[in-house]
Amino acid sequence: MRRNDEVMRGGYVDRVSSTVGMAVLALLVLSAVDAALTLKHIELGGVELVPTMSWAILVGPEFFVGLKMFLTAMGAILLAALEYYPAARPFLPSLLGVYILLMAYHCLLILTEW
């Protein structure tokens, strides 16, 4: 737990709150599900829309999953470390919202293509 003056002015955390920890875990799970569904979509003839990830898929599916999980984990860890910075606070919930929308998109693809 941070002292009040540290919370007010920001500061890196050495132990994240349970809420942020659960958000990071949810983000990693959603990223893994997204990777699996993306690979399945590509197997069925779809395309990856993100150029960097499209290149990673060409290198190989293991590389794609590894790169995706690495980038997601590094971003999530950075956001968790910046938990008390007011400018960084909205990014983790926003990123979770984006992943939830992405899961809805995958569900739409599944319903229309599979």
Q: What pLDDT shows up at residue 101?
A: 95
11 confidence band (pLDDT: 50, 70, 90): low
CB 31 within 8 A of CB 68: yes
Q: What is the pTM of this model?
A: 0.80
How far is Cα of residue 1 from the mean position of the Cα atoms in its chain?
26
The more confident residue out of 4 and 86 is: 86
Q: Which residue has the higher pLDDT, 99 or 5?
A: 99
Q: Which run of H or E residues covers position 114?
A: none
> Is the pLDDT at 37 greater than 90, yes or no?
yes
Q: Is the dihedral of CA 97, 31, 17, 90 positive or negative?
A: negative
Residue 45 has φ and ψ, to the nearest 5°, of: 105, 0
Alpha carbons within 13 angstroms on the beta-carbon side of residue 11 total 12
Say how far apart CA 53 and CA 81 lie, in whole Å.
Answer: 26
